Chains A and B, each alone.
Chain A
Amino acid sequence: MKSNFNTKQRILKDRSLFWGVCILSALTAIPLIAILGEVFIRGYEQFTWTFFTEPTPTAYKAMKAVNEGQPIPGGIANGIIGTMIILFMASAVAIPLGILCGAYIAENNKKRFAQFVSYLTDLLQGTPSVIIGIITYIWIVVPMKGYSAIAGSVALCIMMLPLIIRSTEETLRILPSSLKEAGLALGANKARVMLKIQLPSAFGGIFTGILLAISRVIGETAPLMFTALGCSFIRWSIDKPISAVPLLIWEFFNDPYQQELIWGASLFLLSFVLILNLLSKYLARKWNR
């Protein structure tokens, strides 16, 4: 029997499809690389020691420096410290709460209430951040009679929760059920099996989720405008308006004499997110082995 397959043509087809996919993938990578490149080229010169240790310059100082053709003095230290304080407080609440909630949903996925909570989590994840900002403004800023780092961290905490809940739930669900059963078969109660066996075994996935949640909210600007407001000097108190790196980028944009600083601040933010992402990828891979 003579085969009527045209092998040559089939190989050619296969090849062209392969290269087609490669080229299209490369095309989608172009915007990403272009953004990274642009920010890096414009921003890296500003990465000096004082950029990380000095607060933002006053409008007058910036104007003077620009007019005299000198580099803009000052840096983004107030923003970095503000971002760290807000993130620390947001994480301190969102991480334990998110893990507990994720564990509850994973363990009780047949119960109505758990399904309801799970649904709300999805809804929260899709809520525009500006709405979370305005709600936090009404809940926290108005009763406290002022903008504050606390209000900012509440807004970011709400945004982090769904991400941590989901990653906890999903990691717990892919653990073999025999692990939990083996723990219970030794006579331990459910809470102990969760705390001593299931959660530690799921640590890799949960930690990855936490890092992704942090990198997701670190660049949030809108909710902080309603809550943290901003501050032009380094401040450590949590009940007063405070600065944050994304807020600074917005402020720099609005001041014609400070616009150059946008790029340094953007590069800092971008590098931070990139490092967190790489770290989470590395951890996920290490844990899955």
Chain B
Amino acid sequence: MESIESILEFNKTCVSYTKNTMAVKYVSAEIEKNSITAIMGPSGCGKSSLLRAVNLMHELYPNIKVEGEILLNGKNILSMNPIEVRRRIGMVFQRPTPFPTMSIQENVLAGFTLNGLRLDKYQREEIVENTLKSVSLWDEVKDVLNKKGTFLSGGQQQRLCIARALALKPDVLLMDEPTSALDPIATKHIEELLTELQKEVTILIVTHNMGQAKRISKRSMFMYLGELVEYDLTETMFSTPKDERTKEYLTGRMG
């Protein structure tokens, strides 16, 4: 693979849930800056485990061990403070998770308020408007900013969650199957949005929708049983997969 301008690098990253079983086995890969990289694979292949290792989500569960290195701009995330890491690496979950007691506006600003960062009225309005515009939600919600985020449709909620993550201006945005709970139209909106967003932020997206990976990602990883089987430009991987297992997965014989 040709050399790339990387922002994130996995170096023999392992994730294990119990002592002897590894969910992610020695994954090494460089993630290109300002592009979309998809992680594909059948259920239980470790793709979510790998993604959640990046913003140290595994720290919440003491029995999960992450080994190896994950480098963000050359610095090992695993030895950094989780709070610092998570402010620079945002995350969007499978199901939309707007905070139910907060209004739309408060949801967008949640990253600031939860971290105790004070903003004046002007800054707040600017951040809310710009961020909601960047996820093309502004026109739909500008008159109901004080309504609860949970009143929105599923697709709108997910865009709100993306906005909430983007408001903190992260370097990397992790997405764990962000469209699997959404209908095709909402999915299309999000995909268009991601293609737009990659100019500003590096996106690492877990998906088990091959079509989605093909449509939006520049590079793809294929994982199987915890191993990174193949990592290449998405186009190359879909046209000429090198590994037999990748081929089987892409042609639908495995999955």
CB distance from B17 to the nearest CB of A (A): 14
The answer to whether A189 and B55 have CB atoms under 8 Å apart is no
The answer to whether B115 and A184 have CB atoms under 8 Å apart is no
State which of A110, A179, A183 has its C-beta within 8 Å of the C-beta of B114: A183
User: Smallest CB-CB separation from B101: which chain A residue?
Assistant: A200
Interface centre among A187, A189, A193 (most CB of B within 10 A): A187
Kindly state whether residue B189 has any CB partner on chain A within 8 Å: no
User: Smallest CB-CB separation from A186: which chain B residue?
Assistant: B111
State which of A181, A193, A196, A197 has its C-beta within 8 Å of the C-beta of B93: A181
Question: Which residues on A sit within 8 Å (CB–CB) of B187?
Answer: none
Question: Which residues on B sit within 8 Å (CB–CB) of A189?
Answer: 83
Kindly state whether residue A201 has any CB partner on chain B within 8 Å: yes
Kindly state whether residue A203 has any CB partner on chain B within 8 Å: yes
Q: Count A/B pairs, Cβ under 8 Å.
A: 72
The answer to whether B165 and A110 have CB atoms under 8 Å apart is no
The answer to whether A182 and B99 have CB atoms under 8 Å apart is yes
Kindly state whether residue A192 has any CB partner on chain B within 8 Å: yes
Question: Which residues on B sit within 8 Å (CB–CB) of A180?
Answer: 60
**Are A201 and B168 CB-contacts (below 8 A) given A181-B57, A183-B114, A184-B57?**
no
Q: How far is the CA of A81 from the CA of B2 in the complex (A)?
A: 81
State which of A184, A197, A203 has its C-beta within 8 Å of the C-beta of B99: A197
**Quick one: CB contact mask for A188-202 with B, threshold 8 Å, 1 for yes?**
110011001100110
**Quick one: CB contact mask for B144-165 with A, threshold 8 Å, 1 for yes?**
0000000000000000010011
Q: How far is the CA of A263 from the CA of B161 in the complex (A)?
A: 57
User: Smallest CB-CB separation from A193: which chain B residue?
Assistant: B114
Which residues of B come within 8 Å of A, CB atoms?
Answer: 55, 57, 60, 62, 82-84, 86-87, 90-91, 93-95, 97, 99-101, 110-111, 113-116, 161, 164-165, 168
Given contacts A182-B93, A183-B114, A184-B57, 15 further A-B contacts (CB under 8 A): A178-B97, A180-B60, A181-B93, A181-B97, A182-B97, A182-B161, A184-B82, A184-B86, A185-B55, A186-B86, A186-B90, A187-B84, A188-B83, A193-B114, A196-B113
Which residues of A come within 8 Å of B, CB atoms?
Answer: 110, 176, 178-189, 192-193, 196-197, 200-201, 203
Can you list 22 residue pairs at the A/B interface with Cβ under 8 Å?
Answer: A110-B62, A178-B93, A178-B95, A179-B99, A179-B100, A181-B97, A182-B91, A182-B99, A183-B114, A184-B57, A185-B90, A185-B93, A186-B90, A186-B114, A186-B115, A187-B86, A187-B115, A187-B168, A188-B83, A188-B114, A192-B116, A196-B113
